[in-house]
Amino acid sequence: MSLIQLLLIAAIQGITEWLPISSSAHVLLLSDTFGADGRDELLLNAVSNLGTLAAMLVYFRKDVASAIVGGFELAAAPVTKQRLSPGARLAACVIIATPIALVAALLYEGFLPESAQNALRSIPTVAGATIVFGLLLWWADVKGPRTRKEEDMTFLHALMIGATQAVAAIIPGTSRSGITMTAARALGYERTEAARFSMLIGAPILAAAGLYGAYGLATADPDSGALLSFSDGMVVAAVAFITGLASIWGLMALLKKMSFLPFVIYRVALGILLFAMMPYMATT
């Protein structure tokens, strides 16, 4: 793969990471076209996650700063019956939403046989998940009134929304952002609120994936023929940051004016395209 191909994949990763359309489906399609193997694709995904994470932290810097201050508040005075500040509540919700998905990702990487991982990363699995979870997003988006805001977020809701990330960690094509937005909409949250909380709770997951990728680059054998050098990895992360920031800005602007239906239509079309291309693509 050339550097141009790597940068194209990084740009697609940045654009699709925060949209409810499955970044893994897009990266699979491009990686297969360019001839990357499963390990290289995972490493590229992990490094790109650093860039997309940075984009989210910049865009939601006020929320992030509030949550960080709230985290110190929680550490100094653990959750009690007293009323928490908005920042402390947000920090608590992010913390509660994270562990199940992290455990699922660790079990996937550490204990699931490579053959099972390859089966889950196969084109039929990704294509099917892209369609099925896209239709679930449509159902959640049109099902009744959706007026809840951040101040209505309960710890149970945070746990339920965060737990859905475990599905995305195991089944490529699900879309982490897509399934968390689906859960938030099903629980009654406004579209922009669902998107914002989905991105904020994604920070720990992306940080873990990004650090895993950075560690892989830093410790890789220079003679192993690895896909990325450390300098290439940093360029990839930078491209993912720029495209990710633009993607977040566009999504938040669009959700103030429209429903998730265009993303649902796109997902179904992408899934059908992947199924149609199966005879011409190498499965991983």
Q: For the segment 246-255, what is each residue's pLDDT rounded down to a tens digit?
A: 999 999 999 9
φ/ψ of residue 189, rounded to 5: -90, 145
Query: What residues contact residue 247 under an 8 Å CB cut-off, 6+ apart?
Result: 14, 15, 16, 17, 18, 19, 55
Q: Report which of 18, 6, 76, 80 is spatially closest to residue 43, judged by C-alpha positions.
A: 6
Predicted pLDDT at 30: 79
Band (pLDDT 50/70/90 cuts) for residue 118 is confident
Place of tokens 């009323």: 83
Would you state the structure tokens that stand for residue 95, as one six-digit string?
A: 């913390």
For the stretch 146-171, pLDDT in tens is 889 988 999 999 999 999 999 998 89
Range 214-241 average pLDDT? 72
- Report which of residues 184 and 121 the model is more confident about: 184
Rounded CA-CA distance 258/13 in Å is 23
| CA atoms 192, 193, 199, 202: torsion sign | negative
* Dihedral of the alpha carbons of 221, 223, 224, 226, in degrees to the nearest 10: 90
Range 94-115 average pLDDT? 87
DSSP state of 224: S
φ/ψ of residue 35, rounded to 5: 90, 20
DSSP 33-52: HHT--HHHHHHHHHHHHHHH
Predicted pLDDT at 81: 47
For the stretch 59-74, pLDDT in tens is 999 999 999 999 998 8
For the stretch 24-47, pLDDT in tens is 778 777 777 776 655 566 667 777
- Burial, 81: exposed, middle or buried (Cβ in 10 Å; 0-12, 13-18, 19+)? exposed
Predicted pLDDT at 227: 59
Give Rg (Cα) of the chain.
19
Predicted pLDDT at 283: 45
Q: Report which of 96, 120, 103 is spatially closest to residue 171, judged by C-alpha positions.
A: 120
Predicted pLDDT at 155: 94
Predicted pLDDT at 67: 94
For the stretch 9-27, pLDDT in tens is 889 989 999 999 988 778 7
Rounded CA-CA distance 244/237 in Å is 10
Predicted pLDDT at 167: 94
**Which helix H or strand E contains 67, and what residues bound it?**
helix 61-76
CB 136 within 8 A of CB 20: no
Predicted pLDDT at 98: 93
Rounded CA-CA distance 22/107 in Å is 21
Band (pLDDT 50/70/90 cuts) for residue 232 is confident
For the stretch 165-198, pLDDT in tens is 999 988 989 999 999 999 999 999 999 999 999 9
CB 174 within 8 A of CB 125: no
Would you state the structure tokens that stand for residue 137, as one six-digit string?
A: 């997003």
Q: Report which of 134, 188, 153, 139 is spatially closest to residue 22, judged by C-alpha positions.
A: 134
Range 92-118 average pLDDT? 86
**Which helix H or strand E contains 99, and what residues bound it?**
helix 99-111
Rounded CA-CA distance 13/237 in Å is 10
Per the prediction, the chain carries an average pLDDT of 86
